[in-house]
């Protein structure tokens, strides 16, 4: 039996619930309502199996930066499949798509981040980073420098190592995480945790937790600190301005490697090619994925500075994935970066979309259900509050308010995500000002209905 887009939604949902195991979903959720089934997409709009046209405020999962339905991406994929659908990059072999993509990323990346170790996802790239950092210090004659510090509520992926780097308690509770040698410090989330401090005082306090942790563990045992320039899945938490300069001072002082996880913030999201540029951070390693290919193919990687790459390359790094530098994924990523350059997508974020989105997004701060609005480039969040004018959170179950609001978004044909009591947007970067108006108008309706 052939299962197609033309089948009734209920039948597709029943088959989906019977056979398809979904990430971050319970059987009960699927049994009760069924998944919303997306059948096609063009530009910034999705179409579901009932024919609704939905504006995508999340770019899929923060990844479809150039929007959906790009013919030239399909052509790049087809060309590459015909020419060389697969070859590996192990044991002294290479191919043109991997070479060209690594060289292009090196051009775009800041400083001397000139070397790329490819993976198929952000999770895989962060698994690479853990082994790479530990092997680097071992090669430098300091194998005891194996501890990696990360942050509560950070998200770095779903592998054993990458979920350990992440600071999601609900993930640590499953599968005996974190793995040894990974420790967490607090997040710079002033709205939820800043108490009576000013944001700047709180930013400094949270940054100095890194120094305290280094001294507690012993500076000669710490190999790296990893963080997202802006915490994404944790709720689009933008650190106070005092935070990153202090973090940079501390990693420089103790000579530990700084890993910027740019899986969301990379490729234009914050109005520069990388979030590190927007926030003036200089990492030794960047994790990339998602926007690298605008989600058209699974590809990610670790972008590594000259010194670390030279040390790692001085020995055989016993690490690699069958699909490291996959030629079709690399060809798609190259076409994506070509589109971004040709159309000036990063400039569009900075000069067109962001100012307009910021105006409309921050105006939602007047809504009686909204406690604060935050936005950097084209990623934003708002906090839902039961008590306007305070930083109060919903007492019973913070997630319920977000869940209800997300449902109302769905009903109004706009995709927004919720993290506990924060509502999030991360739309395709090519969204026009008219489309931003549609997004915010529908979001406003959803908030009105949830209130």
Q: At what angle do helices 243-254 and 199-217 cross, to 10 degrees?
A: 20
In sequence order, what are the beta bridge partners of 300?
A: 119
DSSP 3-state of 259? strand
**Choice between 122 and 194, CB closer to ligand PLP:** 122
CB of 38 to ligand PLP, least distance (A): 18
**Choice between 49 and 381, CB closer to ligand PLP:** 381
The phi, psi pair for 376, rounded to 5°, reads -135, 125
Q: How many residues bind ligand PLP (CB under 6 A)?
A: 17
Q: How many residues does this entry show for the chain?
A: 451
Q: How many CB atoms lie within 10 A of CB 218?
A: 11
Give the Cα separation of 249 and 229 in Å (integer).
15
* Per-residue interface string for the shown chain with ligand PLP, residues 37-66, x marking contact by CB under 6 A: ------------------------x-----
Q: Does position 228 bind ligand PLP by CB under 6 A?
A: yes
In sequence order, what are the beta bridge partners of 376?
A: 379
Q: Does position 232 bind ligand PLP by CB under 6 A?
A: yes
Question: Of all helices (H) and strands (E), which one includes residue 38?
Answer: strand 38-42
Give the Cα separation of 327 and 389 in Å (integer).
53
Q: How many CB atoms lie within 10 A of CB 317?
A: 15
**Stretch binding ligand PLP (CB under 6 A), from 47-55, 119-127, 180-188, 239-247:** 119-127
Name residues whose C-beta falls within 8 Å of residue 204's C-beta, 6 or more positions apart in sequence: 242, 243, 246
Q: Does position 122 bind ligand PLP by CB under 6 A?
A: yes
| Cβ-closest position to ligand PLP | 122
In sequence order, what are the beta bridge partners of 261?
A: 287
**Choice between 360 and 422, CB closer to ligand PLP:** 422
**Stretch binding ligand PLP (CB under 6 A), from 120-128, 188-196, 313-321, 388-396:** 120-128
Give the Cα separation of 255 and 220 in Å (integer).
9
Burial of 156 (0-12, 13-18, 19+ CB in 10 A): buried
Q: Does position 299 bind ligand PLP by CB under 6 A?
A: no
Q: Does position 422 bind ligand PLP by CB under 6 A?
A: no
Q: Does position 127 bind ligand PLP by CB under 6 A?
A: no
**Stretch binding ligand PLP (CB under 6 A), from 121-129, 182-190, 268-276, 355-363:** 121-129
Local structure of residue 121 (DSSP, 8 states): S
Q: Does position 269 bind ligand PLP by CB under 6 A?
A: no
Q: Does position 264 bind ligand PLP by CB under 6 A?
A: yes
Q: Does position 155 bind ligand PLP by CB under 6 A?
A: yes
CB of 131 to ligand PLP, least distance (A): 16
Q: Does position 209 bind ligand PLP by CB under 6 A?
A: no
CB of 289 to ligand PLP, least distance (A): 4
| Inter-residue contact 238 to 376 (CB < 8 Å) | yes
Q: Does position 151 bind ligand PLP by CB under 6 A?
A: no
Q: Does position 123 bind ligand PLP by CB under 6 A?
A: yes
Q: Does position 156 bind ligand PLP by CB under 6 A?
A: yes
Give the Cα separation of 444 and 150 in Å (integer).
35
| Cα angle 67-33-439, degrees, rounded to a multiple of 5 | 30
**Stretch binding ligand PLP (CB under 6 A), from 100-108, 241-249, 261-269, 411-419:** 261-269
DSSP 3-state of 36? coil
Q: Does position 385 bind ligand PLP by CB under 6 A?
A: no
The DSSP bridge pattern shows strands 222-227 and 257-261 to be: parallel
**Choice between 155 and 202, CB closer to ligand PLP:** 155
CB of 287 to ligand PLP, least distance (A): 6
What is the distance between the terminal CA atoms of the chain, rounded to a whole angstrom?
A: 45
In sign, the C-alpha dihedral spanning 234, 236, 239, 245 is positive
Give the Cα separation of 75 and 78 in Å (integer).
5
Q: Does position 425 bind ligand PLP by CB under 6 A?
A: no
**Choice between 156 and 442, CB closer to ligand PLP:** 156
Q: Does position 409 bind ligand PLP by CB under 6 A?
A: no
CB of 368 to ligand PLP, least distance (A): 31
Give the Cα separation of 413 and 145 in Å (integer).
50
Give the Cα separation of 260 and 154 in Å (integer).
12
**Stretch binding ligand PLP (CB under 6 A), from 64-72, 84-92, 227-235, 314-322:** 227-235
Using the rule CB under 6 A, which residue among 76, 130, 168, 289 binds ligand PLP?
289
**Stretch binding ligand PLP (CB under 6 A), from 155-163, 173-181, 216-224, 353-361:** 155-163
Give the Cα separation of 42 and 46 in Å (integer).
7
**Stretch binding ligand PLP (CB under 6 A), from 31-39, 106-114, 201-209, 228-236:** 228-236
Binding site for ligand PLP (CB under 6 A): 61, 121-123, 126, 155-157, 228, 232-233, 261, 263-264, 287, 289, 300
């Amino acid at each position: 039996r052939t299962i197609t887009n033309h089948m009734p939604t209920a039948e597709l949902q029943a088959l989906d619930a019977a056979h398809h195991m979904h990430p971050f979903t319970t059987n009960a959720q699927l049994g009760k309502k069924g998944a919303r089934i997306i059948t096609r997409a063009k530009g910034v709009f999705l179409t579901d199996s009932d024919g609704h046209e939905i504006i995508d405020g999340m770019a899929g999962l923060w990844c479809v930066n150039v929007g959906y339905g790009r013919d030239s991406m399909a052509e790049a994929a087809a060309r590459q499949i015909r020419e060389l659908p697969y070859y590996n990059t192990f044991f002294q072999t290479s191919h043109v798509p991997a070479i060209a993509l690594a060289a292009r990323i090196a051009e775009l990346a800041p400083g001397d981040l000139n070397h790329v170790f490819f993976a198929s996802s952000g999770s895989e790239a962060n698994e690479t980073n853990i082994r790479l950092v530990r092997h680097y210090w071992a090669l430098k004659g300091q194998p005891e420098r194996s501890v990696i510090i990360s942050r509560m509520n950070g998200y770095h992926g779903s592998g054993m190592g990458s979920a350990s780097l992440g600071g999601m308690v609900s993930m640590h509770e499953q599968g005996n995480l974190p793995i040894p040698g990974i420790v967490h410090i607090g997040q710079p989330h002033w709205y939820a945790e800043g108490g009576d401090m000013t944001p700047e005082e709180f930013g400094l306090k949270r940054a100095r937790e890194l120094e305290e942790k280094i001294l507690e563990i012993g500076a000669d045992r710490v190999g790296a600190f990893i963080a997202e320039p802006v915490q994404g899945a944790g709720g689009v938490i933008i650190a106070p301005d005092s935070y990153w300069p202090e973090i940079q001072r501390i990693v420089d002082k103790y000579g530990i490697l700084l890993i910027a996880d740019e899986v969301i913030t990379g490729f234009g999201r914050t109005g520069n090619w990388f979030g590190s540029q927007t926030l003036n951070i200089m990492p030794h390693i960047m994790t990339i994925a998602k926007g690298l290919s605008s989600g058209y193919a699974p590809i990610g990687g670790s972008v590594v500075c000259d010194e670390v790459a030279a040390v790692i390359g001085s020995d055989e790094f016993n690490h690699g994935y069958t699909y490291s530098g996959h030629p079709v994924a690399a060809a798609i990523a190259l076409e994506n970066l070509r589109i971004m350059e040709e159309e000036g997508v990063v400039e569009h974020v900075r000069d067109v979309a962001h100012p307009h989105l910021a105006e409309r997004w921050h105006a939602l701060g007047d809504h009686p259900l909204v406690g604060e609005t935050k936005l950097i480039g084209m990623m934003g969040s708002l906090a839902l509050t039961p008590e306007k004018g305070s930083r109060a959170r919903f007492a019973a179950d913070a997630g319920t308010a977000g869940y209800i609001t997300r449902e109302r978004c769905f009903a109004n044909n706009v995709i927004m995500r919720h993290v506990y009591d924060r509502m999030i947007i991360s739309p395709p970067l090519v969204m026009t000002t008219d489309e931003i108006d549609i997004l915010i108008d529908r979001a406003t309706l959803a908030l009105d209905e949830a209130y």
